[in-house]
Amino acid sequence: MQKILEKIGKGIKGLKMGRKGEIGKGIKKVKGKIKKDEGRLINTFQELSSWKEKIGNFVKTYFAKFQGLSLGRRRIVLGGVGMMLVLGVVFAMNVSNIRGASFGWLQTDWSGGADTNAVANHTSNQTGWTKFFSKDANVDTTAGEVKMSATSASFVTTTDADFNAGTGTMTYVSGNAVMAKKPNGGSCTSNGMCIQGICQSNICIGPWIVGPCAGIAVYKQDVAGTLAWKNANTDCVGPQCATGLDASYPTKYVLVADNAVDFSNYPARNACKALGGRLPTVYEANCIYTNRTQYSLYTSFTADVYWTATEYMSARPIPINFNNGDVSTYYEKIAPKYVRCVQGL
């Protein structure tokens, strides 16, 4: 580098003074940069020398340990090192062939059938592959689809006993045949032939049974459970109650028939309202008891006390006992009793 600079200096001597000054400044900058680069190179060589010394010490230390091993252990160590070198070379030679697992797979046709030998290729069979390894006997792939195989069975039923052994909806069994249940007005010989379950005088009727008691129809069964006449032992006043409605007790207050009235504090009457009916008066309840057989086409009456719509006094209504027909006045309004509703005709 110094010789190059000397030659450059000789060439400058023949130049004019102005040009000499400019070139001199440039040479100074170049010399400064060269000194900086020389310093960096010196530092780099010093670092390499330091690492060389460290590596030499490392090799000396572990080589000494290696020499202290038995012959068998030395072979094991050398074998491991050799294997690592071989794997490193193989990896380096094949690194260009390594690729990510980014392939997709779509199979929509299974008509190729089961094949335990055929193997799909991940590059050429990503679509269009129709084979599979195996399947159960009840899986059908004949049309290229995967579906359960259909199974069928048959049996013959010819008798009432056979038909009645099963379950049916809106049907009845008669004459070794299954028939549709009949609507109200249809001819019948038994309750089971009718949709509403009531056959009266060989005619299917609805849930409200018309009988000997004039002006009313009686519901086919009791309201579920037992209910109180009122939630408190207090007077029944308007609009829930009025006088002149019970032929047996014309001056007593009676629960009205108007279902537009709020009966939420009168559980028994409210239950009849939900059915589209009302409680019977004492006069009507006596008639129902007398003719209870005609009104028991669907379910019989319970031999116990039933509420009527008639109030006897502030805390007590007038119920009727369907065990013996007695009318009593000593049950409180809050006592739970049976309820059979009626509907005006």
Q: What are the residue ranges spanned by the domains of the chain?
A: 180-207, 211-345
The answer on pLDDT for 266 being more than 60 is yes
- Residue 323 is encoded by which pair of tokens? 């065990």
The answer on pLDDT for 61 being more than 90 is no
Helices (H), the chain: 2-12, 17-68, 71-94, 160-164, 267-275, 282-290
The residues near 231 (Cβ < 8 Å, ≥ 6 apart) are: 265, 266, 267, 334
Scan for tokens 């459970």, then name that residue.
225
State the pLDDT confidence band at 94, using cuts at 50, 70 and 90: low
Selection from 111, 108, 115 nearest residue 132 by Cα: 115
State the pLDDT confidence band at 18, using cuts at 50, 70 and 90: very low
Q: Read off the amino acid at residue 47.
A: E
The residues near 61 (Cβ < 8 Å, ≥ 6 apart) are: none
The answer on pLDDT for 262 being more than 50 is yes
Cα–Cα distance between 277 and 341 in angstroms, integer?
6
Which of 12-26, 37-51, 327-341 comes out lowest in average pLDDT? 12-26
The residues near 77 (Cβ < 8 Å, ≥ 6 apart) are: 66, 69
- Residue 259 is encoded by which pair of tokens? 């279902």
Residues 220, 210 contacting (CB under 8 angstroms): no
pLDDT (average), residues 45-73: 64
State the DSSP code for 96.
G
Q: Which three-class secondary structure state does DSSP give residue 77?
A: helix
The residues near 179 (Cβ < 8 Å, ≥ 6 apart) are: 171, 172, 173, 193
Selection from 268, 265, 196, 263 nearest residue 225 by Cα: 268
The answer on pLDDT for 133 being more than 70 is yes
Q: What is the pLDDT of residue 131?
A: 86
As a residue count, the chain comes to 345
- Residue 198 is encoded by which pair of tokens? 């009531």
Cα–Cα distance between 209 and 342 in angstroms, integer?
9
Selection from 304, 278, 310, 306 nearest residue 208 by Cα: 278
Q: Read off the amino acid at residue 216.
A: I
Tell me the pLDDT tens digit for each residue of 280-324. 999 999 999 999 999 998 899 999 999 999 999 999 999 999 999
The answer on pLDDT for 4 being more than 60 is no
Bridging pattern class, strands 311-313 and 316-317: antiparallel
State the pLDDT confidence band at 70, using cuts at 50, 70 and 90: low
pLDDT (average), residues 208-225: 95
Average pLDDT of the chain is: 81
Q: Read off the amino acid at residue 32.
A: G
CATH number given to 211-345: 3.10.100
Q: What is the pLDDT of residue 55?
A: 64
State the pLDDT confidence band at 16, using cuts at 50, 70 and 90: very low
> Other CB atoms closer than 10 Å to residue 77's CB: what's the count?
14
Q: What is the pLDDT of residue 130?
A: 86
CA atoms within 13 A of residue 96's CA, in its CB half-sphere: 1
- Residue 56 is encoded by which pair of tokens? 């030499």
- Residue 52 is encoded by which pair of tokens? 């060389």
Cα–Cα distance between 229 and 326 in angstroms, integer?
18
62 versus 147: the higher-pLDDT residue is: 147
- Flag whether the pTM goes above 0.85: no
Cα–Cα distance between 296 and 287 in angstroms, integer?
14
The answer on pLDDT for 146 being more than 70 is yes
Q: Which three-class secondary structure state does DSSP give residue 316?
A: strand
Q: What is the pLDDT of residue 297?
A: 85
